[in-house]
DNA sequence: CGAGTTTGACCGGCGC
DNA sequence: GCGCCGGTCAAACTCG
């Protein structure tokens, strides 16, 4: 799995996917059908682009895919934005997974249906969020099948709050990076529809390398590149 | 004893 | 203006 992650990381770096402009203006999700290594991976709306790049590296191993319920328009939009790489075709054909573009729109505290204007809705939400908080750090959100809430991403986190969010059974936990001067936060909650799924949202950029055991140092370093 | 967690209080944005 | 809600604070508590 680490090799796959590293490969995906390199692919994304090569394609300069994580530009601030994209990250700060868009929000999305990237989902995996299983995560036996208990590692967070994947990201965000750069999603359309990222999805294409990362899924190309991961699909065979993790059965990652656009959901069957993705509308034809959504698939066409992906194709029109980024061509039709082999990876994307493989995603569209896969029957294995469950993540819907509609769910992408619904996931962040919204009960509204994403519908056809899936990007439009996400953009509107981000504008609302920006209006509410003047400074909004880049955010990544992804969904992972995991029994544990807090995924080991190589960084040290300190919990600073927990909140029961309306219409959800499971509390949302708030974490901050323990490193001095590092203002990265993450939120962890379980998906109401499927409590086996953990939704992790990162906000901000780490200004340091992950703290890791020696065995993992190389991999974690590349994980760092993968995310930020 | 220091680091991390828990949890009720508080704050600010938003909708009505 | 008021109430709701998500996010944060901070004191008390737990753990190693």
Supply the pLDDT for residue A137: 67
The pLDDT value given to residue A90: 29
- What are the residues whose beta carbons fall under 8 Å from the beta carbon of A163, sequence distance 6 or more? A171, A172, A174
What residue ranges of chain A have pLDDT lower than 70?
A: 1-137, 211-228
Between CA A186 and C1' B7 the distance (Å) reads 19
Per-residue model confidence (pLDDT) at position A188: 92
Q: How far apart are CA A220 and CA A192, in angstroms?
A: 30
Quote the pLDDT of residue A114: 32
The number of residues making up chain A comes to: 228
Decide if A113 contacts A3 (C-beta within 8 A): no
CB atoms within 10 A of CB A186: 23
Distance of C1' in B7 from CA in A49, Å: 41
pLDDT reported for residue A91: 29
Protein-covered nucleotides on strand C (Cβ within 7 A): 4-10
- Classify burial at A196, counting beta carbons within 10 Å of its beta carbon; exposed 0-12, middle 13-18, buried 19 or more: exposed
Q: Which residue is nearest to nucleotide C6 (CA to C1')?
A: A165
- DSSP string covering A156-225, please? -EEEEEEEEPTT-SSEEEEEEE-STT---EEEEEE-SS-TTEEEEEEES--SSPPP--GGGHHHHHHHHH
Distance A56 CA to C16 C1' (A): 44
Residue A225: φ, ψ to 5°: -65, -35
Q: Which nucleotide is nearest to A173 (CA to C1')?
A: C7
Residues around strand C, C-beta < 7 Å: A 109, 160-161, 163, 165-167, 172, 174, 185, 187
Radius of gyration (C-alpha) of chain A in whole angstroms? 17
Specify whether domain A151-203 bears CATH 3.40.50.300. no
pLDDT tens for A175-191 read 999 887 788 899 999 88
Footprint of strand B on the protein (CB under 7 A): A 128, 131-133, 156-163, 173, 175, 178
pLDDT at A192: 80
Q: What is the pLDDT of residue A219?
A: 43
């Amino acid at each position: 799995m680490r090799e796959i992650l590293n490969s995906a990381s390199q692919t994304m770096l090569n394609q300069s996917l994580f530009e601030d402009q994209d990250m700060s203006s868009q929000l999305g999700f990237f989902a995996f059908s299983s995560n036996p290594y208990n590692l967070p991976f994947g990201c965000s709306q750069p999603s359309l682009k990222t999805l294409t790049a990362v899924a190309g590296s991961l699909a065979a191993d993790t059965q990652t895919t656009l959901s069957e319920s993705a509308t034809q328009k959504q698939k066409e939009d992906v194709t029109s934005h980024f061509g039709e790489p082999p990876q994307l075709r493989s995603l569209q054909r896969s029957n294995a997974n469950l993540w819907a573009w509609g769910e992408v729109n619904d996931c962040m505290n919204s009960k509204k249906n994403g519908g056809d204007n899936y990007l439009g809705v996400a953009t509107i939400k981000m504008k609302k969020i920006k209006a509410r908080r003047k400074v909004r750090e880049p955010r990544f959100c992804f969904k992972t099948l995991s029994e544990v809430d807090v995924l080991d991403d190589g960084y040290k986190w300190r919990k600073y709050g927990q909140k029961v969010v309306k219409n959800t059974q499971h509390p949302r936990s708030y974490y901050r990076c323990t490193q001095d001067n590092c203002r990265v936060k993450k939120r962890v909650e379980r998906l109401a529809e499927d409590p086996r799924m953990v939704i992790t949202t990162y906000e901000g950029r780490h200004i340091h390398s992950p703290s890791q055991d020696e065995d993992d140092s190389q991999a974690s370093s590349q994980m760092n590149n993968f995310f930020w």
